[in-house]
Structure 1
Amino acid sequence: MTGTRLSLTSITVTAPDPRALADFYARLLGTEVAVSEPPGTNEPPEAGWAQVRTDGPTLNFEYERNWQAPVWPAAPGRPHATQHLDVHVDDLGLAVAHAVEQGARLADFQPQEDVRVLFDPAGHPFCLFL
């Protein structure tokens, strides 16, 4: 690279109700929603934008009018996750229970012993891992 610095600062997640999803991730991660903006003109009530600041990258949540939850594991002809969030935990059982209490759903298929795949309320897969 020549003469410039690149720094990852945030990840933007699209959702059918971004402010509700930001609230879920804030509860999951034990923090607060830092910014929450209402829908714009001519947008539905669930539209808007929100942000959750973490010890790592900031999570931004943006309205997607044509949202379709991904299928995981991927299946031909179905929407698939192009990325997911990985969250390090000290106790997998307690972390899964906490995530489910906040509104997550445990995936039927679990590919590894030390990782649990869950779905957030909008259907994005995310992983808790030791």
Structure 2
Amino acid sequence: MLRPSIVLDTLTIDCKEEDIPILMDFYANLTGFTPEPCDEDELIPTLIGPSMAISFFPVNNYHAPTFPSPAIGRQMHLDFYVTDLPAAIRFARSIGAKDSPKQFHDSYHILFDPIGHPFCLTTNGPTIPDKDFVSEE
């Protein structure tokens, strides 16, 4: 059986409602994605990129991640491919990212967004398939 076309479209990050503007601004600056035009009826604020989107979903009783402690965990983790890791780290810090107290490898650097979600800047990648998303069973 051929697998139908299934492509990742949107990643949704849980957060407190009051943190949405902070996250929208941070990730727009980090990625260059643009805010999706929306009216007050729009429920999920979203940033649109060239091949996917990032949405921010308000959660009642939200608890921030505790990575590297497993108490609450990461909740989500994004890896961003970069060609100049030191420059990317400096830029991310300049827009509000903080370094993780633990680093595990030279080819990537773990940081936290302004409300504590961990993400990596990495020279490992990009992870892009060479063929169409079709497989046979």
Structure possessing the higher radius of gyration over alpha carbons: 2
What is the CA–CA distance in structure 2 between the aligned matches of 1:36 and 1:23, rounded to whole Å? Answer: 16
Amino acid at match of 1:49: I
User: Conserved in 2, the CA contact under 8 Å of 1:88 and 1:129?
Assistant: yes
The aligned length equals: 121
User: Conserved in 1, the CA contact under 8 Å of 2:46 and 2:55?
Assistant: yes
Give the alignment's Cα RMSD to 1 decimal: 2.2
Relative contact order higher in (CA < 8 Å, ≥ 6 apart): 2
Amino acid at match of 1:60: S
Give the equivalent residue in structure 2 for 1:32: 34
Change (3 A) 1:37 1:72: farther
Give the deviation of 1:39 after TM superposition. 8.7
Structure 2: unaligned runs, 5 residues or longer: 124-137
Instruction: Find the partner of 2:104 among 99, 102, 111.
Output: 111
Structure 1: unaligned runs, 5 residues or longer: 41-47
Question: Structure 1 residue 93 and structure 2 residue 95: aligned?
Answer: no
Give the equivalent residue in structure 1 for 2:7: 7
Question: Structure 1 residue 69 and structure 2 residue 64: aligned?
Answer: yes
Taking structure 1 as the reference length, the TM-score comes to 0.81
Larger strand percent: 1
Q: Deviations over 1:50-92 (max 9, x none)?
A: 11112332111111221211121233xx100143100001111
Taking structure 2 as the reference length, the TM-score comes to 0.77
What is the CA–CA distance in structure 2 between the aligned matches of 1:99 and 1:52, rounded to whole Å? Answer: 17
Give the deviation of 1:8 after TM superposition. 1.7
Question: Structure 1 residue 80 and structure 2 residue 73: aligned?
Answer: yes
Amino acid at match of 1:127: C
Instruction: Map 1:40-55 onto structure 2 (within 5 A).
Output: 49-55=44-50
Give the deviation of 1:94 after TM superposition. 0.8
Change (3 A) 1:116 1:3: closer
Aligned residues with identical type, % of pairs: 31
What is the CA–CA distance in structure 2 between the aligned matches of 1:85 and 1:37, rounded to whole Å? Answer: 28
Question: Structure 1 residue 121 and structure 2 residue 121: aligned?
Answer: no
